[in-house]
Amino acid sequence: MTTSSTSIRTAVAGATGYAGAELTTILRRHPHAEVVAEYSSESFSVDALASSHAEVVFLATPNEVSAEIAPKILGLGMKVVDLSGAFRLRQAGLYPKWYGFAHEHPELLDEAAYGLTEWCNGELKKARLVANPGCYPTSILLALRPVAFLIDREQPVIIDAKSGVSGAGKKADVSYSFAELFGNFKAYGVGSHRHEPEIRQGLHLGEKATLVFVPHLLPTVRGILSTMHVGFTHSVNDEEIAEMYAKAYANAPFVKILEPGRLPELKDVVNTPRCDIGWRLLQGGRRAVIVSVIDNLLKGAASQAVQNFNRMYGFPETEGLQ
């Protein structure tokens, strides 16, 4: 049982990265978390972690690193919230194609709770391992799930998504340099971005339905704006759509649904733990353009990880985040 004086011993691996630094900042001001250890690549070892006696370990590390160390950390009896993609996909067979490595622990893919917080029920309370969703999938699944049953799977689901450069982490790669990005805007990873199978999985699209996912790199530091084009099986009106969103997010403090016809902007959510969603109906309500925005480092990574932590331990979902 948690009380007002409960404090959970937490550790952060990857604390010197973009997502890990945000996470550590939030955990340090969280009334029920004590940050007992923070690691960079150089200071991390499983032995060091063992001696920290952390109860829960956040991994803000590259995919391959999380895939390797999470099973060892679970073996120490610690819980894991992994911000990477190492445990997000249910099918181990997808990892070589989309992530470039073979998954050694398919049993953990079955076990991991997919932490799209607003769509979790009791599973976070019981979880030993939480797979925090990807940043693009967070923005897309929160917007499409409430209307998913309306989507006509015979028509392509087209998603045009734009992310600030921090989405790629602190890379020393020329394509992420100031000279390449400033005053520029480009698509990348079309048909090969590793978030594509996660989006397909999260929408239960199956193998056949067409998903077109086009990520873009915005010449800004943080924020994701996803524009989704969907056809519906029958006509709907604004009131019906508004009701579906209101029902889905009645108890979701970090999802804001805009009035019909209003579309959200990046500046509404940057530096906040929120996802804002708006839509416009087209063709007499047979189609919609839905737009969602998040801060990739917060709702797309660190603040969602803390929402999941709050749910795991029975703290109010907003604890440490307001």
Ligand X SMILES: NC(=O)c1ccc[n+]([C@@H]2O[C@H](COP(=O)([O-])OP(=O)(O)OC[C@H]3O[C@@H](n4cnc5c(N)ncnc54)[C@H](OP(=O)(O)O)[C@@H]3O)[C@@H](O)[C@H]2O)c1
Q: Which residues bind ligand X (CB under 6 A)?
A: 13-20, 40-42, 44, 60-63, 65, 83-84, 134-135, 166-167, 169-170, 296-297, 300-301
Give the Cα separation of 80 and 56 in Å (integer): 6
User: Least CB distance from residue 176 to ligand X, whole Å?
Assistant: 11
Decide whether 181 or 230 has the Cβ nearer to ligand X. 181
Asked if 269 and 223 count as a contact pair (C-beta separation under 8 A), the reply is yes
Question: Rounded to a whole number, what is the distance in angstroms from the first to the last CA of the chain?
Answer: 23
Q: Which residues neighbour 44 within 8 Å (Cβ) at sequence distance 6 or greater?
A: 13, 69
Asked if 231 and 155 count as a contact pair (C-beta separation under 8 A), the reply is yes
Asked if 292 and 276 count as a contact pair (C-beta separation under 8 A), the reply is yes
Q: Which residues neighbour 118 within 8 Å (Cβ) at sequence distance 6 or greater?
A: 142, 248, 249, 252, 254, 255
Please tell me which residue in 19, 69, 135, 312 is annotated as part of the active site. 135
User: Least CB distance from residue 195 to ligand X, whole Å?
Assistant: 10
Residue 303, number of CB atoms within 10 A of its CB: 23
Residue with token string 């819980």: 79
Give the Cα separation of 42 and 207 in Å (integer): 41
Please confirm, yes or no, whether 120 is among the known catalytic residues.
no
User: Least CB distance from residue 45 to ligand X, whole Å?
Assistant: 9
Decide whether 167 or 273 has the Cβ nearer to ligand X. 167
Decide whether 39 or 279 has the Cβ nearer to ligand X. 39
The tokens for 124 are: 């976070």
Packing angle of the helix pair 303-313, 18-29 (nearest 10 deg): 40
User: Least CB distance from residue 218 to ligand X, whole Å?
Assistant: 12
Decide whether 304 or 310 has the Cβ nearer to ligand X. 304
User: Least CB distance from residue 282 to ligand X, whole Å?
Assistant: 31
The tokens for 159 are: 């998603």
Give the Cα separation of 122 and 312 in Å (integer): 9
User: Least CB distance from residue 240 to ligand X, whole Å?
Assistant: 33
As a 3-state breakdown, the chain gives helix, strand, coil percent values, each rounded to 5, of 40, 20, 40
> Which amino acid belongs to residue 277?
I
Residue with token string 């010449």: 219
Decide whether 59 or 291 has the Cβ nearer to ligand X. 59
Decide whether 195 or 256 has the Cβ nearer to ligand X. 195
Element holding 195 (H helix, E strand)? helix 195-202
Report the catalytic residues.
135
